[in-house]
Amino acid sequence: MTRPLKIAPSILAADFARLGQEVSDVTEAGAEWVHLDVMDGHFVPNISFGPAVIKALRPHTKAVFDCHLMIAPADPYLAAFADAGCDIITVHAEAGPHLHRSLQSIRALGKKAGVSLNPATPLSVIEHVLDDLDLILIMSVNPGFGGQKYIPAMTEKIAKTNLMIGNRPIELEVDGGVTVDTAPHVAAAGANVLVAGSAIFKGAGVDDYRKTVEAIREAAEGGRR
Ligand code: DX5
Ligand code: ZN
């Protein structure tokens, strides 16, 4: 099964003073999803934004809102992120003791449920929830900051995740250090959703964003062939 390729720009690297315009520009540039990195200064050593900001961004694009929660605990806030207009809500397996319950709560809110794994976390922690989720997010850097270098050992982890997914309808997303250079490896290993923050937002405006989104897409298509 070949899952359609999607580019998901992370607005963590966008201009926070003009987020509405940034979200609209990057969507116009051809990105299918907008990746929203929520950080609490506790699960990760950085603080970004929460549901109120996401709610304010919602009218600026029709693109899928792909919300990556780097917060612990996550469960008390799931309803707020659903209300804010997130389409996919991803929790970290490391962030709470009852992953299965968190995923069920997301689906009960009518949203797609994702799980993310830090580079150090083995795939075995999600073996029991493969029929309870819509997306697996493999972190290819330690979460907390944009602009870090892709960890090469994650390519094999992506390939193992792809095998584990088999024919299940699960998106395989990779996040951290994705560039035109790393995209072919990530895609060849089986990832179909590529998050890119600094690679895309180092440019300014729709034309720059379109060039990078297209370049990453072409690089990834090359890896898939
Ligand atoms: C890291 C975030 C990523 C980050 C990616 O904790 O989850 O989404 O913004 O940024 P780049 O593409 O710059 O590595
Ligand atoms: Zn992310």
How do 33-39 and 171-175 pair as beta strands?
unpaired
Q: How far is the CA of 90 from the centre of ligand 2 (A)?
A: 9
Say if ligand 1 is within 6 A of residue 13 CB.
Answer: yes
Which ligand has its closest atom nearest to the C-alpha of 47?
A: 1
- Strand order across the beta sheet in which 64-70 lies: 6-9, 193-196, 171-175, 135-139, 112-117, 88-92, 64-70, 33-39
CA distance 202 to 171: 27
Q: Atom 1 of ligand 1 has which residue's CA nearest to it?
A: 143
Question: How far is ligand 1, taken at its centre, from the CA of residue 176, in Å?
Answer: 5
The closest-lying atom of ligand 1 relative to the alpha carbon of residue 147 is 13
Q: Domains of the chain by range and CATH?
A: 6-224 (3.20.20.70)
Cα 192 off chain centre by: 11
- Tracing tokens 């989720």 back to the chain, one arrives at 133
Cβ(118) to ligand 1 under 6 A? no
Per-residue pLDDT of the chain (225 residues; tens, 9 = 90+): 589 999 999 999 999 999 999 999 999 999 999 999 999 999 999 999 999 999 999 999 999 999 999 999 999 999 999 999 999 999 999 999 999 999 999 999 999 999 999 999 999 999 999 999 999 999 999 999 999 999 999 999 999 999 999 999 999 999 999 999 999 999 999 999 999 999 999 999 999 999 999 999 999 999 999
Q: Counting atoms of ligand 1 from 1, which one is nearest the CA of 139? A: 7
CA dist., res. 206 & res. 50, Å (int): 25
CA of 154 to the centre of ligand 1 (A): 15
Residue positions annotated with a catalytic role: 37, 175
| Structure confidence by residue, pLDDT tens digits, 133-170 | 999 999 999 999 999 999 999 999 999 999 999 999 99
175 C-beta closer than 6 A to ligand 1: yes
How many Cβ atoms from other residues are within 10 Å of residue 151's Cβ? Answer: 15
pTM of the full structure: 0.98
Binding site membership of 198 for ligand 1 (Cβ less than 6 Å)? yes
